[in-house]
Structure 1
């Protein structure tokens, strides 16, 4: 049946002008939302009773190196420099296309299980066209919606992004999958020559692609000014982390429409620097969120949202006490803002704001049902806060493009035991001989 009527839930639409949560029905027609309102009549639709649940837009993990899934937890105690040395210096070059495929498949399925319906897959270990194709196929098989941000291992600053590969992917592997779009994971102006940075930005603009880049500590290199002077910063530009950028630089970038993605748990733990959340909020902007690397932190976006919220509140509380000698009377950041970072802002960062991130007529039917009847959430007095407090066990159902990918608390994916076996075998082989004492497994 192509029509599904979700009835009985409290719905957090994240749409402007609507209440934070409301008792409304949601009608899904094929892959889109066709109606949102009270007591919708749809005699030909399958009716799903979601009484006691909270329905939200699918979460958007705007920055994830999904290819690292097979190496989960090995870097939990690594600093940023250890991560770069041991993961990129020792393990990354051992990846085969099969390793890319199984990590992307398992990582995307895990994201769906956590309530994420869209992933910004920052794939900077594409060693060959076969590696790229295998990564894309892994995403496609999972059923997740994804922006495949094509990247390469770290290279000399003068070497431009391989545009022949971008065009090949646009003409074939990515075009063949309706839920996958292409972007460019650039080295960016911080790690490229002035000429290369400008050329890469031009190439992305010509193709209408999101271009995303890391900026983590250190003053901006000359390439930043060159890109700015050429007018190449735009809403299709995404900066991950952003630590090290001055308030003036962040202001210029926000004015150009640039989006920022913070990965708060990893940024705080590995030493990237202080998340840019506060700088953005002071400018009337906001971050999107990612979980970054499963090698160091769990890939749960709701956890990232709570980290971002608590960290910014902590900074604001401390600043207020230092400047006034008193405590804040009201919270500086709200739970709904944090949920927006994980939905609306994520969609904007990935160039998908007209498709996902809100529950509105005409939007893609990417929806999540949170079971608020569970003991850890009940009674759910504040639906938005309840969602932020949810864990994997509370994610009852996930729909992507009108198709159920999780129901009754279980993934609707076949062969999960085989996927887990392949993932373990991949990780053990990739780690063999890593570090002075061998693999940490």
Structure 2
């Protein structure tokens, strides 16, 4: 692979030692070689970044990509209706190929929006074929991703156990590790989307944590919304030393401050989805509570069945919601607003780069434009009508940018988007397939409900 020199852009490296400003970025194959002002080489393809802000690829730490065919269906639903209509209804109507097309188009859209790494939380895979086809979609898209293997959440049939009583399928994790994830240098890697103590019995939670620990996989789990199945589960897991940096908690709204501190002390990471949390009724996002404990979260788009999934919007909503809480708290306590905003745009950019890398167990590989890390780079046009004039490039990204500004996306040094065009030759065909899939699933559910 020929070396590439990104020249003439305004670089935000997200690495304090590398710095930011008018610098050039040299990519050598799949890795970043160097970042410096005045850097020039003779044997590299030049990427003209004039008028662009150059950033590390964005990280969407948590998304149920299989729901891409359901876009907008859950836009007016609270959490109980979502559980009832999606997990106990729509999910059961997905064929393996439905999972494939949703995951493929969802991942392509992430690339189009400037996300180069995706935490794909797949919990609608009742058969190995469903799982394989979801992975096929990720691989075909060319995105870097962690495939969090989960399990469906249907209502139990007579004689069946509730899903909270069923351990994660060991045989599937073993099968995936010896087949789809036998190679260590692929863009798609494996994680476990487990129930955790919030949505399972303690015995199930213990077994799932031990399985993830045995194979050194990041174990990610939801913690929010409905009442916890095992309220003291976090303390019990901590007592047997099963909480650590490979533990990822999604949402966390139900946790007490004492639980948060205990988990943070053990290196647990948190992935928040503030827009979904506020809309569906999980509770107030814990962005500020984590900040007050000296920690910063990662962010995820969560549900395209409900909201848009570009990380600029996700970060903007997360920032605005916490500023609103802080402003109201200051008014109540002091009778006046804070002198300045309590969280900065730079904080928000960290949430969707560095902190996302940490949550997915990839801090040494992605999240910043650091020499030696993977060449995941995004060029965002800042010379457009919605961005000029740029007084502060970080503020411009978080407060003004949209997917339309994403000009070029590279993953491991390979183009995924160039000059504003997604590089995928069958996009129109795949979009038609997505339309067909979504309409058939939605109409099937309507027919079922009408027959009841």
Q: TM exceeds 0.5?
A: yes
How does the TM-score come out when normalised to structure 2? Answer: 0.94
- Which residue number corresponds to residue 189 of structure 1? 197
Rounded Cα–Cα distance in structure 1 between residues aligned with 2:438 and 2:247: 33
Rounded Cα–Cα distance in structure 1 between residues aligned with 2:163 and 2:447: 27
Rounded Cα–Cα distance in structure 1 between residues aligned with 2:438 and 2:449: 13
- Which residue number corresponds to residue 14 of structure 2? 14
Structure 1 residue 109 and structure 2 residue 108: aligned? yes
- Which residue number corresponds to residue 256 of structure 1? 266
Instruction: List gaps (5 residues or longer) in structure 1.
Output: none
**Offset of 1:331 from its aligned partner?**
1.5
Render the CA deviation track for 1:361-412: whole Å, top value 9, x for unaligned. Answer: 0000001100000100011110011111210110011000000100111101
Instruction: List gaps (5 residues or longer) in structure 2.
Output: 154-161
Rounded Cα–Cα distance in structure 2 between residues aligned with 1:240 and 1:175: 27
- Which residue number corresponds to residue 161 of structure 1? 168
After TM superposition, what 4+ stretches of structure 1 lie above 6 angstroms from structure 2?
436-439
Name the SS of the counterpart of 1:321 in structure 2: helix
Structure 1 residue 350 and structure 2 residue 360: aligned? yes
- Which residue number corresponds to residue 250 of structure 2? 240
Rounded Cα–Cα distance in structure 1 between residues aligned with 2:96 and 2:128: 9
- Which residue number corresponds to residue 348 of structure 2? 338
**Offset of 1:323 from its aligned partner?**
1.0
**Offset of 1:275 from its aligned partner?**
0.6
Name the SS of the counterpart of 2:193 in structure 1: strand
Rounded Cα–Cα distance in structure 1 between residues aligned with 2:262 and 2:406: 39
How many residue pairs were aligned?
A: 438
Structure 1 residue 399 and structure 2 residue 410: aligned? yes
> Which segment is superposed worse, 180-189 or 320-329?
320-329
- Which residue number corresponds to residue 171 of structure 1? 178
Contact 1:136 1:174 in 2 (8 A): no
Equivalences for residues 415-430 of structure 1 within 5 A: 415-430=426-441
Structure 1 residue 311 and structure 2 residue 318: aligned? no
Structure 1 residue 265 and structure 2 residue 275: aligned? yes
Contact 1:432 1:438 in 2 (8 A): no
Equivalences for residues 44-83 of structure 1 within 5 A: 44-83=43-82
Equivalences for residues 201-220 of structure 1 within 5 A: 201-217=209-225, 218=227
Contact 2:14 2:350 in 1 (8 A): yes
- Which residue number corresponds to residue 294 of structure 1? 304
**Offset of 1:318 from its aligned partner?**
1.0
Render the CA deviation track for 1:277-305: whole Å, top value 9, x for unaligned. Answer: 01100011011000101100011111010
> Which segment is superposed worse, 249-258 or 209-218?
209-218
Contact 1:198 1:226 in 2 (8 A): no
> Which segment is superposed worse, 23-32 or 226-235?
226-235
**Offset of 1:435 from its aligned partner?**
4.6
Render the CA deviation track for 1:10-53: whole Å, top value 9, x for unaligned. Answer: 0001113454x311100000000001001112110011111110
**Offset of 1:222 from its aligned partner?**
3.0
Name the SS of the counterpart of 2:117 in structure 1: strand
**Offset of 1:437 from its aligned partner?**
9.8
Rounded Cα–Cα distance in structure 2 between residues aligned with 1:311 and 1:437: 38
> Which segment is superposed worse, 171-180 or 389-398?
171-180
Match of residue 408, structure 1, among 414, 419, 435: 419
- Which residue number corresponds to residue 374 of structure 1? 384
Name the SS of the counterpart of 2:271 in structure 1: strand
> Which segment is superposed worse, 151-160 or 50-59?
151-160
Contact 2:93 2:444 in 1 (8 A): no
How does the TM-score come out when normalised to structure 1? Answer: 0.97
Q: How large is the Cα RMSD of the aligned pairs? A: 1.4
Rounded Cα–Cα distance in structure 2 between residues aligned with 1:161 and 1:54: 43
